[in-house]
Structure 1
Amino acid sequence: MSEFPPIAITISLLVSMVFSVDSSISFGYRYAQYTSNATNCNIFLSIDKNVGTVVPFFIQLFGIVVFVPDGSRHVADQGAPCMHNEPTFEQSVGQHLVTGLQGVSLDEQFIELVRNHKIGNVILFSRNIVDKYQLKALCADIHELIERETGFPPLISIDEEGGMVSRLGPDATHLPGAMAIGATADQGNAYTIGRISASELRALGIQCNLAPSLDVNSNRMNPVIGVRAYSDNPETVASFGTAMVRGLTDGNVLSVVKHFPGHGDTDVDSHTGLPVIGKSKEELLVCELVPFKAAIEAGVPAIMTSHILFPGIESEPVPATMSRIIVTDLLRAELSFDGLVFSDCLEMGAIKDHYGTSRAAVEAIRAGVDLVFVSHTYALVAEAAAAVAESIRNGYIDSDEHAVSVGRIAEAKKRFDVPSEETLDTVGSEEHRTIAKAIMARSVCIGNMPTQTLPDIGDQPLFLGCRPFHTTPASNGESETTPFPEWMASQLGGKALVTPDDPTNEEIIALMEETRGATCIVIGTYNGHIRQGQLALANAMAGTGLPTIVCALRNPYDLVYLAENIFSFAVFEYSTLAFEAIRCILTQERSATGVLPIHW
């Protein structure tokens, strides 16, 4: 850093003669701001409470910042006071990082990581959760450790979208996912789900939900979004997504919408590869960006970036997360977003395999991202923290932008880290479960009805379907769910056969032998439009002449490829909540009233 110019010292002396103290200063903070009415000049002072000295460390003159080389300048919180004391440089760097936790309690490596690198934020996964009592205690421990080591409370975040992306345990309320909610054609259901989610998260000590997805699922072969999107219609996604944001925000939970500028038109999962969307900005503005613009206008507090190449707007071969053109120029300047920007996890294949996690952390923050996720590997978190710190020291990351970003993070923590009146009785309450069940029941959609009424399943129905195989690292640990055929047979009698994920012709022929004596065939598909052996099985069963009913238990696109004599329903998720909704339809206790939110 260059020597402090003599003219600035003269200005400092002149300004000091006409300072007036800002009466709004709280003695709890180590920043005082003095304002010169005569010169329109602000000087920020660092107050050492132990010694009682006041040391100016920069002068802001007519919008120009001149830094005083005091040897170890602390980060100024521009526009917002620190939560407690002025952060050290290491503490300010740690505010940018979000790390995961390996187990169900604080381990020594995690504690040392926070102590050594002042990591300020945490993301939780299913691996961290036993039940609501353990989770609440864990969040309290995380909060105490991070606040003690960094001077700021942590943002404790979780992916609790509902449906296929739900991390909470079985004693919490399982909520329907986005496309199921969209199928109810009632935006009020999105708001209600947001409020329920917020109340349970706050009761557990979690202030940040990485939801909802505002992706427009315009590519039916998308392996990672699908039913996580409300619809393939931009306006529908916008209206339902902003309703859920309002529900979360009204419940005092920080909603982080994703995956900017859109992950809906890909056939590659960014957890495992590097997707490319070749659309121009004009094309994005009429589709992918519509929901994000609506959310920004509605006051959404945070947006997550995607790990996708957009060569139509970013000429350099870097994904949105690392693109200043996308994060700063498009999102902040053109779309006027002034909230927090989160990255998606920097250990995903799109980043780790192509750019490296620590390099990506630096480039993301330099692009304008506030918080970067390094969710799984402690060593990579430490590397990223060190790389970011060095990049700020050497000027590769602008120190003023770093200071503004830390201030933005501090403001969000001040807003959302407040005591909650919610108790653990709220989590998984009968009221919440009843509402979730009712919304799920209203979401089931008719795909095809060859006759006006559904056939009676009889006393010997044959239930077929695969287990919920792992389709993307984003989804739940669905292997723990009772297989669809077994659950249905336990409720309705008959025979259950768990089939292969992608049956071969030989396996289909063998399964045909099991139809003898059956009164009806009910099949659950699970992304059969991708693993098409499931659809071949369904069509073969329909050829037996037995009444055949197919339920799409993930993406509804499976129903497009079925024979015309098959009765079919879109159910959107593989869960007992969805199975119960199907049971009520098969027994004709209720009709399917949902409206498909996608187009064939």
Structure 2
Amino acid sequence: MSRQNMTLEQKIGQMIMCGFQTPQINTEIKTLIEEHHLGGIIYFRRNVNDKEQVGQLSIDLQQYSKQFTDIPLFISVDQEGGMVARLDWDDITLIPGNMAVGASRDVELAYEMARICGEELLRMGINMNFAPSVDINNNPKNPVIGVRSYGECPELVSEMGAAQIRGLQEANVSASAKHFPGHGDTAVDSHHGLAAVPHDEERLFAMELAPFVRAIQESVDCIMTAHVMFPAFEPEQIPSTISRKVLTDLLRNRLGFEGVIVTDCLEMHAISKEFGIPEGTIRAVEAGADLILISHRFTEQVNAIHALVDAVRSGRISEQRIDESVDRILALKAKRQMEKLTAITENYAEGFGSESSKKAVQLLCERSITLVKDEGQLPLRKDERTLVIWPEVRQRTEVDEPIIQAYTLATALQPSMSQVDEYRIGTYPDAAEVQAAVAHAKDYDQVIVITYNAVSELHEGQVNIVKQLTQHSNVRVIVASTRNPYDFNQFPEAKTYLCCYENRPATMTALAKVLLGESPTVGRLPVSINETYGFGFGQQLGSTVQV
């Protein structure tokens, strides 16, 4: 179907991307496709059970849509890797997150991770990935980006982001650089409130915008907006998603981006609470957005579609403005040949989680482990009593680890050591849990404390465990952070500290090899922990690397 033959309602449907609530087609998504001409779908954990089910769901959605139009659906997901992975089963290849990639400094492996991810997504019928995040994490207090960033240096973020864009798109999956113009230097999560980046234009072009400029040079298919205010570009107190000065004047005209501009979800409070979703939809289109993402509630999705149609009918938005976006959307769907979707076959499983793919992941994980400090405690003594204190994530969120991991550092260490035990705590241990952990640990010779966002005030119990254990000279304490690397600032007295950037099984295997002295520590800090341990710092046992 060409744009010239489409009704206004059909064109506006192409500009909307929605989520739905079930792992199979339900009445609501059928209604959006049939009655509202929906052009895009986004998957969340609620939609996915296993790779076969996801592949069949994608086929079912495309076939249902084909009854009403010959324009294929965008089917998208947030599969950044690491902690942001909607699909995280053992029989697919789960790639590391961005900060681990940044710590490895390995551009070729960064590309390979994204290519592998793209090929496996496409086999499940997913043709668009909302990745990579090219936000620069130059604010340690950022509550939403953190390890989703490659680091604090624009050159590193630009290089790794470009490599992963290339990998995804060479697998014929649309990449989406996010969150424009940059969500890294904020201390507010736009899921919950409205943040601002107050810097001047010169600083923004040198820092926040640099990875997006590189992404455009790499011909990235999509750029996702940030619900963040940038007063240097937009004097009104409105987020970039609904700012014409940001999306059209800056991104389109000054930076020359010709691809599809997609909004972050308009149900996030920075939009929904401040402006309302229907009005936010209209303003985003007025600003220059092509694809409007409304992830969760059917009523809001329908209201937004009606509001956009009414805005054109009333003359608030011209139909020419709609046509511009539809042309870009149709061009991308044709470019990526999204009408092609191979049916699931008997050998379907062979395209996932191959040995070569998992070896590549393991290699990158090993290259990411960063030794920040060691005062002669490594490698571990294999014949001594060893305890791993493990903070388990007990509540799943949409951008968080799976709950209660079976494979932990203790699992990885046990085959090589005479005695390794594990003591599990929550990520928010209270005083009683702290005291119980410390008392238990005193019976061991060496204790490895795994921390998970201990830098947060909410996780002070983790900090107290480290501090109390380091006061006992008869216990050697090794600390390894498994998310943000800034934890070390809470307990600088620790004699040994390593950064892992995530707690996934491949990373824990890599950490075990480092602790046992079986693998060199070649990772380098992608962010500055403090003045002593700055960007590029990394140690090998007995030596230091600083770049």
CA contact (8 A) 2:488 2:497 kept: yes
1:142-171 deviations in Å (ceiling 9; x for gaps): 111223324310010011110011111412
CA contact (8 A) 2:99 2:151 kept: yes
Partner of 2:443: 517
Check if 1:536 corresponds to 2:455. no
CA contact (8 A) 2:466 2:494 kept: no
Partner of 2:138: 218
One-letter amino acid matched to 1:279: H
CA contact (8 A) 2:74 2:127 kept: yes
Structural mapping, 1:92-111, within 5 Å: 92-111=11-30
Structural mapping, 1:85-484, within 5 Å: 86-170=5-89, 171-416=91-336, 417=338, 419=340, 423-451=348-376, 453-456=378-381, 458-468=383-393, 473-482=397-406, 484=408
One-letter amino acid matched to 1:587: L
One-letter amino acid matched to 2:152: D
Partner of 1:591: 520
Check if 1:549 corresponds to 2:470. no
CA contact (8 A) 1:542 1:563 kept: no
Shift, 1:453, TM fit:
4.0
One-letter amino acid matched to 1:432: S
Aligned partners of 2:382 and 2:470: how far apart in 1? 14
Shift, 1:192, TM fit:
0.6
Structure 2 length-normalised TM: 0.90
CA contact (8 A) 1:464 1:521 kept: yes
Partner of 1:566: 495
CA contact (8 A) 1:190 1:240 kept: yes
Shift, 1:480, TM fit:
4.3
SS in 2 for 1:573: coil
Shift, 1:455, TM fit:
3.7
Cα RMSD over matched residues?
A: 2.0
Relative to structure 1, is the Cα distance of residues 295 and 199 closer, same or farther in structure 2, using a 3 angstrom cutoff?
same
CA contact (8 A) 1:457 1:586 kept: no
Q: Tell me, which stretches of 5 or more residues in structure 2 are unaligned?
A: 530-547
Aligned partners of 1:599 and 1:407: how far apart in 2? 44
Relative to structure 1, is the Cα distance of residues 158 and 393 closer, same or farther in structure 2, using a 3 angstrom cutoff?
same
1:80-110 deviations in Å (ceiling 9; x for gaps): xxxxxx2222111100100012111101222
Q: Which has the larger radius of gyration?
A: 1
Relative to structure 1, is the Cα distance of residues 548 and 555 closer, same or farther in structure 2, using a 3 angstrom cutoff?
same
Shift, 1:241, TM fit:
0.3
Shift, 1:596, TM fit:
1.1
CA contact (8 A) 1:97 1:373 kept: yes
Shift, 1:415, TM fit:
0.9
Greater displacement, 232-241 / 454-463: 454-463
Relative to structure 1, is the Cα distance of residues 112 and 527 closer, same or farther in structure 2, using a 3 angstrom cutoff?
same
One-letter amino acid matched to 1:198: G
Partner of 1:54: none
Aligned partners of 1:288 and 1:331: how far apart in 2? 13
One-letter amino acid matched to 2:467: N
CA contact (8 A) 1:91 1:118 kept: yes
Partner of 1:13: none
Shift, 1:276, TM fit:
1.6
Relative to structure 1, is the Cα distance of residues 483 and 311 closer, same or farther in structure 2, using a 3 angstrom cutoff?
farther
SS in 2 for 1:174: coil
Shift, 1:420, TM fit:
6.6
Shift, 1:484, TM fit:
4.0
Partner of 1:14: none
Aligned partners of 2:56 and 2:495: how far apart in 1? 50
Relative to structure 1, is the Cα distance of residues 477 and 547 closer, same or farther in structure 2, using a 3 angstrom cutoff?
closer
Partner of 2:538: none
- Of structures 1 and 2, the one scoring higher in RCO (CA 8 A, sep 6+) is 2
CA contact (8 A) 1:445 1:594 kept: yes
Greater displacement, 418-427 / 270-279: 418-427
Shift, 1:454, TM fit:
2.8
One-letter amino acid matched to 1:553: T
Q: Tell me, which stretches of 5 or more residues in structure 1 are unaligned?
A: 1-28, 31-74, 77-85
- Percent of paired sites with the same residue: 33
CA contact (8 A) 1:485 1:498 kept: no
One-letter amino acid matched to 2:362: K
One-letter amino acid matched to 2:512: R
Aligned partners of 1:172 and 1:181: how far apart in 2? 19
SS in 2 for 1:425: helix
